[in-house]
Each structure stands twice: as C-alpha cells, then as structure tokens.
Amino acid sequence: MSVQVIHTGFYTTIQDSGRTGYRHWGVPVSGPMDCESFALANALLDNFEKAAVLECTISGPTLLFNAPTRVAVAGGLIEIRLNGVEVEMCKAIDCDLGTILEFGKITKGVRSYIAFEGGLATPKTLGSRSQYFPVTEYKKLQKGMVLPLRPHTTALPKIMQVPSTNWIGTTETLNVLKGPDWGRISEQHQTQLLSENFSIGSNDRMGYQLKGALSKNNYGLPSSFVLPGTVQLTPEGTLLVAMADGQVTGGYPRVFMLSGNEVSKLAQLRTGKTIRFEGCD
C-alpha cells in the first residue's frame, strides 16, 4: 500500500509526533506545528495518535493512490478534489486504486494536515519519521516520492462530533506564561510586552518573528535552553518565537512561554496578522 507524490505543493513535509531525546546533540523535536489539527486528522481515522501525516503550508500536494485507503484532512481550510470532485475536510475520504487527490490553496489559516488510515510508513531516523534536514535526507516532500502506508489498527475512540475549528487563522490574543528571564528585563519592557500590539513578520517551521514598538535593549545573557514556544526578546526589540524546528539554545532573554495550544494558534496565523499577549502566572 502506497501513495505517490505527483505535485508537492508549496511546502509539504512528513511529520509524526516528533523526535525526542536528541536535543543535547542540537537536534530539534520537529513534529507538527499545529498539534491540535494533527491530532484531529488522526482521530478522524481512529489512528494511533502519533501516526505520521503530511503537513501542508500555504498549499497542498497532488497524490496518486496505489491501493484503497481512507484519508482525513484537518487544520487550515484547504481546497480538496477527489478525481476532480470537491470534497469536505474533517471527514473520512474513501480513496480507491488510481484515485487522484488534489489539494489547492489554504484559504483560512496556514497549515493543513493530511492523515492516512494507519499512517505513513516512511523510514524512521533517530526514532521519528518527521522530516528535518540534515537529519533526514530531504527537508520536504519531493516530486515522485512513493510514500508507503501502514496497515490500519484502531487505536483511538471514534469521534462522534468534530470539535470547532473556528479559531484557525483568527486568533488575536495569545495566553503566555512568564519565561525564565522575565525578572531580568526592565519594568518598562514588561509593561510594553503586555500592552503593545505585535505584527507577525517572517516565519517558518524554525520560528516566528514578531514586530512591535518595543525599545532597544542591551541585555547580555549566557546561552540557555530554548524549547518550542519560547519567546525571546532581541536587542533590536523584536520577538522571536521558537517553533517545531527551532534552535535548542539561545542567548536572548526568554520573556514568555507558550503552551502547545497557543503554539498551534500561532502556527495558523499569516504574515501581517496583529496579536497581543495576555499574561498569566
């Protein structure tokens, strides 16, 4: 059982729950940017919760099925056509031998997740199927790739009602916890961080850059651990949010920490979107 990649889309990668236990070698966890949508896509098929899926950014791939199986799509709102006929997200899609499944642009949000019944069975590297170059041979899907599928064994209870996905791409406030270096920055910066608006700048699987009206600083700190969801304050007054493929250490003040749910919300926001931080102890 396998699926062949006819077209890759803008930036499509294979992701499972991530690669743990290798951060001391400088290897990030990787895994899905939006853990909520990743989990929903697998649950729609009663898959094992860590089963490997395709993560699409901005637009999706075109796939040719070499055997009958089922597919489910969750996350950002994306155009889906089964042999030319439009089909819905968040429902199991029956695919037969020779079926062509085309994914177009993501019209709401940034990332969509394509799960396959049983999950992808691509080779594991350091215990994970998640693509991250140079740990894996390729950083993203390649045209012509043949993706093997695992046999399906029911692992999750069947979803009776699909949870709301209205939050995708619409978030205006992110809930944050104070970071390890919160007490090392000035009261002025603390006030600004919890009162200013920030605009999303350049972003990818490594991190998001957030721009606001923060004043410059000269905080000098030794390099320390950085986890996905860590928000760092740079000397220029911009913020850097470490994401799934982010660096494992950094030398800027770690002012906030985002939970997995908040990281998922951020991962679905596009460049130019304005957000605020709401602090909680």
Q: Are residues 108 and 231 in the same domain?
A: no
Q: How does residue 272 score in pLDDT terms, banded at 50, 70 and 90?
A: very high
Mean pLDDT, the chain, as a whole number? 93
Question: Residue 188 gets which letter from DSSP?
Answer: H
Q: Is residue 159 part of a domain?
A: no
Q: Are residues 229 and 265 in the same domain?
A: yes
Q: Is residue 165 part of a domain?
A: no
Q: Are residues 68 and 201 in the same domain?
A: no
Q: How does residue 29 score in pLDDT terms, banded at 50, 70 and 90?
A: very high
Return all residues near 49 (Cβ < 8 A) that are at least 6 apart: 17, 39, 42, 43, 155, 156
Contact 16, 130 (CB under 8 A): yes
Q: Is residue 248 part of a domain?
A: yes
Residue 199's CATH number: 2.40.100.10
Contact 184, 260 (CB under 8 A): no
Q: Is residue 168 part of a domain?
A: no
Helix/strand/coil for 129:
coil
Q: How does residue 155 score in pLDDT terms, banded at 50, 70 and 90?
A: low
What stretches of 178-246 show up as alpha helix (H) in DSSP?
A: 187-193
Q: Quote the number of domains for the chain.
A: 2
Q: Provide the domain limits for residue 242.
A: 173-280
Q: Is residue 32 part of a domain?
A: yes
pTM value > 0.85? yes
Q: Is residue 164 part of a domain?
A: no
Angle of helix 260-267 versus helix 35-43 axis, rounded to 10: 90
